[in-house]
Structure 1
Amino acid sequence: MSTTFPVMTIRWHNEATKLVKRALWFLSVKFLVHLLLVFFACQKQVAFCVELSQPIGNTFETLLSRFGSRYCINVRPQEKSWYQSPCGRFYDERIDVIIGVRLAGKLYSLPFSRLEFANFDAVNQILTPCKLIWRASLKSPHMRLYLKFTSPFYPKDERTTLLPAFIVEFVVENCSDAPLHGELIYGRELNARQLATLRMSDGMAVFETQGVFKALEGVKGEDWDAELTRLGSKTILTFTRGFKLPPNANDRGILVLACYSRDAFFTARGYPYRFKYARLFGDVNEVMNYALANAEELCSRTELFEKTILDATEDDALKMLISLAFQSYASNALWLIPAEDVAASIGLKREPPFKQWFSVLEGGGGLFNSTVDVEYNISPFYLLYWNELLEMLLDEWSAYRKGGIIRHDMGMGFVANGMSYYHDMPVEENTNFLLMLFSLWASTAKHSLVKGKWSIVVELIKYLMSTDTDGNGFPNFGTSNTIDQAVYVTQHAPEQTYLAMKMAAAYQAVWQMARFVGDFGIAKECQSALEKITATMKKAWLGDHYPVSIDKTIPGWDAYSIYTANGWLLHFIVGVSPQVDIQRIRIDIINSTKVTWRGYSSTHTSVDVTTFISQNIWRDCIAAYLGVDMIKNARSYWGLQWTLNRTTGGAFVDSYNYDTGYSSLRYYPRGMAAICYILALGGVSFNALEKKIVVQPLRENVVIPLPWLSDWASKRIPSIEMRLSEGKPQVSISHKELLEGWNIVLGR
């Protein structure tokens, strides 16, 4: 070995040192890229750069966002901060916000401003998938304040879901025996540009916000007074509503916070795109008027959607975990349409590459557009609630593929002109794509999905088969995967068991699709490849678990891993039995969980120190389908989220290093994997090709929503409720008419 500064030169003599060389190369490049991504994502908003304080009451950091429309609120009580912007998380700015009451000239506000106000005696924060609620109270005078911010969401309803507005409900209650007079108050800081463009009238204000794109923001309410107030060096736009309450009475007021932009801020394959809400609403005034006039209905629809989640989960920690995950997911979603007028103005005469665009940014993981491996874990949400969104993603990924490989992502931030990540993950992303395509087909029986993409399926499956160069079915190249912040054997090793099992799941899926389209040659090849993998898996068994890799020259090859069965969950959901040794898979999950568990969760493997909470959730749900109840682990996952979001923050935080205490992948969408819990608790599988629903509850008393069969327009959401009464199971089914033609099998 010879060394010069600043360049290191190393002579490599054998296969072992070649492995070390490769590991060092990946680590060095990954480290530099990681630093760049962290810098980009944090945008000078790293939590340790600000003064932290003990949050009041049980408050914690979270997000509330408009799905597909980017309008986002990020509350950070540990910093006494409030971030808000039409441009969304990572493009937002901190503003001082006042939310509370004025009593006898004294202002009481929630802890989202560094301006000095009196605190409430008690503050309780409640989170649901689409609502952020605070209950605040004073002992003297004895009163309560209820505040509810609603972000409307309703499956298959674009007007409700994409509306760029929050509905804010204030309820003040006089709990004393004496009259109570005062004002409800909402105020927000305005900067110089916003003040210069401010327009005010009775109960309404509109101003311009300039970020990565230009937008108008507005506030409107009936029976509210709007004015500008000077507090120190800050100018505050203030909305007040007076109340005079007799003893034990209450008063209620509604405000709407809205935004609007027609800017073509996004580029996909060189073509400009703007928010889809611009097709549904003409301007910010129309948005505010619609939201205010329809506030009750919008909130009612939102609660109906939420009931499908909250009624199916008995544990409060599980409800909170799913709610936090949904809000981080929604904050990253983009739903757009082509801006043909802008394209024409810059001389683009071609047709837009996509009739509409849907993608999900990867949050603090680099803002990549719809990373395939992230969407793989989110995909059950689409299967349950909005299958058309997954279909759009499959079309987009298909358009960006290259050389038989589905690329890791489609671009970074608001530019989707091609993959931005620094390397492909060929085996992983090809299998993810195929498994999502198969599950979408099996759950909808939409045959055009398979017929229209069959040539792509053949491309991808041929690539997968080519990665097995020694005939044992396991991949020898193309094995780098998404499990970053992991050791070499976990992320890059050839002949990984995790990827081999995922290939087996993909082969089984493509075998069934091939038989449907009549391509019996591909079906035969898939069956042969699957048999090779199962034979090798049999030899690889180590008595109580499967190894991470069957390449014994790599350090850590025989470690325990939580990823072995990762490829099979979508098969379980659509009622397809894996053609592998299920009993060994069950044993592997139980033992790997025991060995890798550290405090709040399992690390990737027994030789890793980092965890992905989303992959722990995914593992738990696979275990549930195998009759192993790990759902209680959700309490630990919520414990980690709670702890982090009262200190360093990050809303849904996916990655945590147990040795350093460093958290990353913040404001991350992949926590939406938690939606699988509502299926796992009921052991639910559904297959539209067979018109069959199987329910095998993990616990005795369960409510099982069937949202994929819902008639959302008429507000009919079927469900199955199973209760144990006097030792006998009692079953009731709501809206049976929507299950006509389906065969329902109950019991484990």
Structure 2
Amino acid sequence: MTWPLARLGSRFSLLFEPHYRRVMHSGLGRFYDEPLELSVGLVEPDGTERVMPLTPHGDLLYACEQFDRINSLTFRGYSESAGLRLELNFHAPFYPQSDKVCILPIFFVEMRLTPAKVRWRSQPYDRPERVRLFFRMSRPKTNITAESRTINLSYDVPLQSGTRTEDDDQVDSEPHEINGRTHAHVEERLYSLNPDAVPDETEHGCGLTLEMPVTEEGSGLKWRLVWAAHTPDHVLDVRGAAGQLRYQQYWDDIDSVMAYAIEQRDDFLGHSRRFEKLLEQATLRRSQWHLLALGFQSFLSNTIWCNLDDGREWFSVTDGTRGYHASVDVQYNASLLYLNIWPRLLKLLLGQWADRAKAHEASGGAILDHDAGRGLTVGESAYPHDMPVEVNADYLLMLQAYAHWTGDLSLIHEHVEFIRRLAAYLLWTDQDGSGFPSNGTANTIDDGPPALQFAPKQTYLAIKRVTALQAAADLLRRAGDDATAERCRDTAAAAVPRIEKAAWLGDHYAVCLERDATGLTDVWTGRPLPPGKLAGWDDYSIYTANGLLLPALVGQPTGFDSALLQEDLANAQRETLSRYGCAHCSSDDFNVRVSQNLWRDHAARFVEAPLSHEEGRVWDLQVFSNSGTESFAFIDTYIGNELGFCARGAATFGYFLAGPRLVLDRLDGECTFVNPDRYRHQRWPLLPLADWAAGKIPICVVNYDGTVTIEGELEDVTLRGEPHDPDVIA
């Protein structure tokens, strides 16, 4: 199936499409890429060349397979006639909070040849002692040459995004001009660490060949290559400031990239494989693991980390096929990754967003932009409409989570006026004292029904508004604005019972209070809806707890009745469940958002709602969307609303928080709690408590007798919950 490998912020990426027998490849990443024919394989004793399914030319190896890990991808195939197994591994090194490991624009490649352990015939194989391997490349509009141990590639990339608008038009009709150039020049190099590799060229590609002995598995004998890329050009326009990829500050040409990669290879691979092993030992079901690995690499493929020519640092994440930069709602889901392994990246985003608000005269407050632009231009928000309640609340909740998670109050003091203005809008949007927002309720659920997408008085937005006002009160109190903090706190407290009374329908919360479509306007067309009943207002929905997860992570009480939330979450899962996960709401079993299923599942863990394990269904959607004629990497939606190559897959990192029910607060008493289930053996790496530089990562272990221990404890961790009764079957 389709699988991406990518680097953090450096754009160098590979998109493997074995069903198309190609690799989509570019030094500037997805949507700036070209099809690469990667001819990798072996020569059988009779001269037949067998290849991996990454080129349209040549005979395939038998029974080709692929295996994913968090940082790597392995292909495996067999030579039937010679009784050989060939493995090809690509590794994208990653280790949390280590800039150089993660942004270095390289992949490590290994090939290994071993005897096959299976038998197709009764006669013994005439297995050769040595076999010739080859690694060749062919790519449009690319100059490829080979010399001893080395393959060189040189090409230009038009500064023109291949992403599409909502109307399926190309975002950029013409290349951008950035710092006087409309193209970025890219140099790439593959270098064989095995000294005997020699140039090899055929009509289908240019590369290297190496004769290797057939050795038993575990011998350690492999063909090792380093694949590097580099562009010195500016590739991003941030409001008139041109940005170079951040790796340029360390390595100013392809020679320095390659030299550093060779020097650090063993160390970087050691750290990266340790991170892989750490995550693989966590108590994840297999479908969860695949979602994590695919979601992580898809997220990385969207990141761009630049140094601007005005001295600023810029980090953002695009939104896959739509190409929006730093979409607030997308990063709300991705915040679970940042909180786990790299809080500084969230801090960068929070600081950048604070410069992106529009004044709102009626409230005296501000509306945060949905995004920071599109394609290669960071400027005005590009999304077709605002979603003020959603994104204002997202920002306040992320800022509160970041502050409590890290103990860092600098953003609060730096942006106190901005916090105050966002809160002022949220206070204003409840026009009748009902506790529900009446204005600004359009959101990003653009494939949802009107009741969920833009109706006033939506329940999930009312709950989210409450938790955001509670967050604003918390933040403003710490900044010394007690008066506004008290108003936010009192407004939120008064809204909770009103929301529960008005929206509770006996066994679930209504989608919205509005029951009549008369007077409602479609935010996409600008036209009024047909008068009559608003369909779906009383549906079951998976969004009720959307605003509750981040407060739970930092131990902030919200005041909502947990029993009602448990009942709502469980009943809504039952009523919205479809072939590929839970749909938005019960009257629509077609439109699914994978990230929102994940977010709901994580939130349900903290309110202890009894949900069934249905992540296998959303993994089925990923398999379907990356097989046959489909190729979307992590896809967030079902066909028709193709949110492919989506960064929201980073929400899978919530497994490491929700599994042990980790609560962390470094502001109020520096308290850390875990409350894992006790009825099964588990191991949960407590990633936010790790000392990555020292390589020390504490592990929460639930033993077979139900007791809980913390291996490698670095700071006090308090255990919550009751021990498991071994006489009770869970």
TM-score (normalised: structure 1): 0.85
Q: Is the 8 A contact 1:62 1:651 kept in 2?
A: yes
Instruction: State the secondary structure of the residue aligned to 2:355.
Output: helix
| Aligned residue in 2 for 1:734 | 711
Cα distance change on mapping 1:438 and 1:192 into 2, 3 Å: closer
- Given candidates 412, 424, 441, the residue that maps to 2:374 is 412
Are 2:213 and 1:244 aligned? yes
Q: Give the Cα–Cα distance (whole angstroms) in 1 for the partners of residues 20 and 372 of structure 2.
A: 34
Q: CA deviation at 1:743?
A: 4.4
CA contact (8 A) 1:275 1:337 kept: yes
Give the direction of change, closer, same or farther, for the CA distance of 1:218–1:650 in structure 2 (3 Å limit): same
> Runs of 5+ in structure 2 lacking a partner?
117-124, 159-183, 360-365, 518-533, 723-730
**Partner of residue 173, structure 2:** none
- Return closer, same or farther for 1:575/1:702 CA change in 2, 3 Å cut-off: farther
Match of 2:153 in 1: 207
Instruction: Encode CA deviations 1:455-485: one digit per residue, 9 max, x unaligned.
Output: 1110100011111111112111111101011
| Alignment-mate amino acid for residue 662 of structure 1 | G
Distance 2:612 2:225 in 1: 39
Quote the residue 2:622 is aligned against.
641
SS of equivalent to 2:680 = coil
Give how far 1:148 is off: 1.3
Aligned residues of 2:570 and 2:610 also touching (Cα < 8 A): no
Structure 1 contact 179–247 (Cα < 8 Å) conserved: no
Q: How far did residue 138 of structure 1 move?
A: 2.8
Count of residues paired in the alignment: 658
1: CA distance, partners of 2:592 / 2:654: 19
Q: CA separation in 2, counterparts of 1:201 and 1:327?
A: 32
Alignment partner, residue 652 of structure 1 = 634
Work out which of the residue numbers 185, 189, 202 in structure 2 matches 1:218: 189
1:284 and 2:254 are equivalent in the alignment: yes
Note if contact 1:174-1:246 (Cα within 8 Å) is conserved in structure 2: yes
Paired residue secondary structure (1:567): coil
Match of 2:538 in 1: 558
- Correspondences of 1:139-538 after superposition (within 5 Å): 139-175=80-116, 178-195=127-144, 198=145, 200-212=146-158, 213-222=184-193, 223-231=195-203, 234=204, 236-245=205-214, 251-338=221-308, 340=309, 351-352=310-311, 355-364=312-321, 366-403=322-359, 404-537=366-499, 538=501
Per-residue deviation, 1:293? 2.8
**1:311-344 CA-partner distances (Å, limit 9, x unpaired):** 2133221111100000100000011101x3xxxx
Cα distance in 1 for partners of 2:593, 2:210 equals 46
Please say if residues 70 and 297 of structure 2, whose CA atoms lie closer than 8 Å, have aligned partners that are also in contact: yes
Alpha-carbon distance in structure 1 between the residues aligned to 2:213 and 2:320: 45
Contact 2:540 2:576 in 1 (8 A): yes
Query: Deviations 1:285-318 (Å, cap 9, x if unpaired)?
Result: 2212222232222111112222342221332211
Q: Quote the offset at 1:600 in angstroms.
A: 1.8
Which letter does structure 2 place at the counterpart of 1:542? L
1:670 positional shift = 0.3
- Hey, what does 1:70 align to over in structure 2? 11
Distance (whole Å) between structure 2 residues aligned to residue 224 and residue 214 of structure 1: 30
Give 2:595's aligned residue.
614
SS at 1:566 equivalent: coil
1:584 aligns with 2:564: yes
Residues of 2 paired with 1:597 and 1:371: CA distance?
28
Give the C-alpha shift of residue 82 in structure 1. Answer: 1.3
Summarize the Cα distance change of 1:486–1:150 in structure 2 as closer, same or farther, 3 Å threshold: same
Offset at residue 629 of structure 1 (A): 5.0
Deviation at 1:259, TM superposition (A): 0.5
Q: Distance in 2 between matches of 1:246 and 1:206?
A: 30
- 2: distance between equivalents of 1:202 and 1:193? 20
Partner of 1:81: 22
Q: Give the residue type in structure 1 aligned to 2:56.
A: R
- Distance in 2 (CA, whole Å) between partners of 1:159 and 1:184 is 32
Please list the CA deviations of residues 342-401 of structure 1 after superposition, one character each: whole Å capped at 9, or x if unmatched. xxxxxxxxx45xx2010001001x100010000000101111111110000011111122
Counterpart in the other structure of 1:692: 671
Letter in 2 for 1:207: L
The Cα of 1:527 is off from its aligned counterpart by 2.0
Post-superposition CA distance 1:68-109 (Å, at most 9, x none):
111111111222221111010111011211122222222111
CA contact (8 A) 1:218 1:258 kept: yes
Q: Distance in 2 between matches of 1:464 and 1:208?
A: 52
> How far apart in 1 are the matches of 2:134 and 2:89?
14
Aligned counterparts of 1:494 and 1:246: Cα–Cα separation in 2: 68
3-state SS of 1:399 partner: coil
Distance 1:85 1:493, change over 3 A: same
| 1:710 shift after superposition | 1.7
SS in 2 for 1:173: strand
**1:1-22 deviation digits (Å, cap 9, x = unpaired):** xxxxxxxxxxxxxxxxxxxxxx
**8 Å Cα contact 2:396/2:472 also seen in 1:** yes
Residue 672 of structure 1 and its aligned partner are, at CA, apart by 1.1
**Given residue 208 of structure 1, which amino acid in structure 2 is its aligned partner?**
S
Closer/same/farther in 2, CA of residues 483 and 247 from structure 1, 3 Å limit: closer
More helix by share: 1
Give the Cα separation in 2 of the matches to 1:356 and 1:626.
Answer: 39
- Structure 1 residue 62, shift from structure 2 partner: 1.1
1:691/1:743 contact within 8 Å kept: no
Q: Considering only aligned residues, what root-mean-square deviation do their CA atoms show, in Å?
A: 1.8
Gaps of 5+ in 1: 1-59, 341-350
Cα deviation, 1:38-60, whole Å, max 9, x if unaligned, reads xxxxxxxxxxxxxxxxxxxxxx1
Q: Deviation per CA, 1:623-682: give whole Å up to 9, x if none.
A: 1112235472221111221122112121101011xxxx5351011110111110122121
CA distance in 2, matches of 1:709, 1:695: 12
User: Quick check: 185-194 or 397-406, which moved more?
Assistant: 185-194
1:153 aligned counterpart, secondary structure: coil
Q: Quickly say closer, same or farther: Cα 1:546–1:182, change in 2 above 3 A.
A: same
Judged with a 3 Å threshold, the aligned counterparts in structure 2 of structure 1 residues 308 and 631 are, in CA distance, closer, same or farther, namely farther
2:728 corresponds to? none
Query: Counterpart amino acid of 1:285?
Result: D
1:174 Cα shift?
Answer: 2.9
Q: Percent identity?
A: 31
Contact 1:221 1:292 in 2 (8 A): no
Secondary structure, counterpart of 2:548 in structure 1? helix
1:249-302, Cα deviation, whole Å (9 max, x unpaired)? 773111111110111110111110010000111211221222223222211111
User: Is the alpha carbon distance of 1:188 and 1:730 closer, same or farther for their aligned partners in structure 2, counting shifts above 3 Å?
Assistant: same
Deviations 1:137-180 (A, max 9, x none): 23331111122111011111111000000000111113468443
Distance 1:113 1:179, change over 3 A: closer
Give yes or no for the alignment of 1:570 onto 2:550: yes
| Change in CA separation of 1:246 and 1:136 when aligned onto 2, cut-off 3 Å | closer
CA-CA distance at 1:721 after TM superposition: 1.2
Aligned partner of 2:700 among 720, 726, 730: 720
CA distance in 2, matches of 1:679, 1:701: 17
Counterpart for residue 594 of structure 1: 574
